[in-house]
Amino acid sequence: MPIEVGLWKLGDRLEKVEFTPMDSERRLEDVLADDVSVIDPNLLLIGRQVPTSHGKFIDLFAIDGDGKLVVIELKRNRTPREVVAQLLDYGSWVRGLEDDDIAGIFEGYLRKYVPEHVSTSLDEAFCEHFNASAMPEALNESHELVVVAGELDDSTERIINYLAEEYGVAINAVFFRFFRDGDHEYLSRAWLIDPGEVDSKVERKREKLPWNGEFYASFGGDDNRDWEEARTHGFLSAGGGAWYSRSLSLLEPGGRVWVNIPGGVGYVGVGVVKDEAVPIDEFRVEDGNGKMVPITSLPLKAARHRTQAEDVDKAEHFVRVEWVHTVPLAEAIREKGFFGNQNSAARPRAKKWHHTVERLKQRFDIAP
């Protein structure tokens, strides 16, 4: 069944804030265009009302830190069949886009909507937004389709789940509710399928390979995460929201984890997981004198995440790792065809993952 979102105001008595329709879906599009992180913090908007070769226009067009393209389409007043069919049609067009096509779409977006930044290249915008040193070598190796709706009906839910589970289509729905309380306005968001679960469903259906027992981890995305500190003190970390930290719980003690730094950097290490993930306040490291102390007591960049510790959802979480082999950032390993995604940790089943691990074993000189 569709998810129902409610909002209540706390006071002397519980008071429900009633849902009211947004003035127009154009306004919702404007909100999302101003800050696409409302949908997903790992997106960079690169197009709006993008013309396709089929004579239609994509509402919003974005890219994530791995170079995956994301088509975002507002449901408006169309039937579930119409909006999903439109998205699939867009997907058939998007999959053929080359790097120069994507750069051209971004240039057109800046020219029309952000003319003051028209001289900014896609490379520059990508690196600045994702704090990366370079763009991924290959863009558009995959894409995702997202329906945006004011409310979600049973039919749309059934169609999307069917496409994702039976055919491995990377499709999802996110719906927004608009609330007004006096002069204050609020916007809530809810996903039909957890975004990480969409990736899992797609991989399970498309590849049908057994998990090879090797864990994947993505490290980075924050000025307070320093790879040299992680190498020295033996840890991986993620936080800033449950979206980022919860996947760390996938890492099982005794398992081997391969670490990638996204944004075009590459793989920097492999190690054995020693303990389950814990919040920053519970994580201890050696102080240099053989004594184990709270990481928050040392002058490390990672310790700055202590300011988020009071918020359980935002708190940085740490996993202890005994490194088998690591390299500095300057020696990170990248190859065309390597697996990569933005999840802090994963158990990939993709063919690319099997290939990536075998190549890294050779490059790091790791025994099978």
Average pLDDT, the chain: 86
pLDDT of residue 3: 55
Question: Which of 18-27, 150-159, 254-263 has the weakest average pLDDT?
Answer: 18-27
**Residue 69, beta-bridge partner list:** 63, 143
- The residue ranking higher by pLDDT, 20 or 91, is 91
Percent of the chain exceeding pLDDT 70 equals 90
pLDDT of residue 204: 59
Question: Which of 180-184, 320-324, 341-345 has the weakest average pLDDT?
Answer: 180-184
Task: Spell out where the chain has E strands.
Answer: 8-9, 15-16, 43-51, 57-64, 69-74, 143-149, 171-181, 184-191, 214-218, 235-238, 256-261, 266-273, 278-279, 284-286, 292-294, 317-326, 345-346
pLDDT of residue 79: 75
pLDDT at 322 over 80: yes
The pLDDT-based confidence of 5 (bands split at 50, 70, 90) is low
Crossing angle, helix 195-207 and helix 154-167, to 10 degrees?
40
- The residue ranking higher by pLDDT, 139 or 62, is 62
Mean pLDDT of 70-87: 84
Backbone φ and ψ of 245, nearest 5°: -85, -25
pLDDT, tens digit, 9 for 90 and up, residues 48-65: 999 999 889 999 999 998
Q: Which pair of tokens denotes residue 204?
A: 């399970």
CB 352 within 8 A of CB 337: yes
Mean pLDDT of 177-195: 77
pLDDT at 301 over 50: yes
- 57 by DSSP, 3-state: which? strand
Mean pLDDT of 198-217: 74
pLDDT of residue 45: 96
**Domains, the chain:** 8-206 (3.40.1350.10), 209-364 (3.10.590)
**Who's near 261: CB < 8 A, 6+ residues apart?**
218, 219, 220, 227, 267, 268, 329, 332
pLDDT at 161 over 80: yes
Rounded CA separation 154/82 (Å): 15
Rounded CA separation 61/143 (Å): 11
Rounded CA separation 61/66 (Å): 15
pTM for this one? 0.59
pLDDT at 93 over 80: yes
Tokens 């209540």 locate to 8
Tokens 């679960």 locate to 197
pLDDT of residue 356: 94
pLDDT of residue 350: 79
Pairing of strands 278-279, 284-286: unpaired
Sign of the C-alpha dihedral computed for residues 206, 246, 39 and 107 taken in this order: negative
Task: Assign 3-class secondary structure to 178-201.
Answer: EEEECCEEEEEEEECCCHHHHHHH
What are the distances in angstroms from CA 257 to CA 207, 219, 361? 21, 12, 12
CB 172 within 8 A of CB 193: yes
The pLDDT-based confidence of 352 (bands split at 50, 70, 90) is confident
Mean pLDDT of 259-269: 91
**Residue 116, beta-bridge partner list:** none
pLDDT at 89 over 80: yes
Rounded CA separation 190/350 (Å): 28
What are the distances in angstroms from CA 65 to CA 9, 138, 146, 314? 37, 12, 17, 21
The pLDDT-based confidence of 234 (bands split at 50, 70, 90) is very high
**Who's near 190: CB < 8 A, 6+ residues apart?**
3, 5, 174, 175, 177
The pLDDT-based confidence of 112 (bands split at 50, 70, 90) is very high
What's the burial of 201, exposed, middle or buried (CB within 10 Å: 0-12/13-18/19+)? Answer: buried
What are the distances in angstroms from CA 171 to CA 35, 91, 123, 148, 151? 21, 10, 27, 11, 17
pLDDT at 122 over 80: yes
Rounded CA separation 308/245 (Å): 13
pLDDT of residue 340: 84
pLDDT at 1 over 50: no
Mean pLDDT of 171-179: 82
Q: Which pair of tokens denotes residue 252?
A: 């099982």
Q: Which pair of tokens denotes residue 89?
A: 């049609």
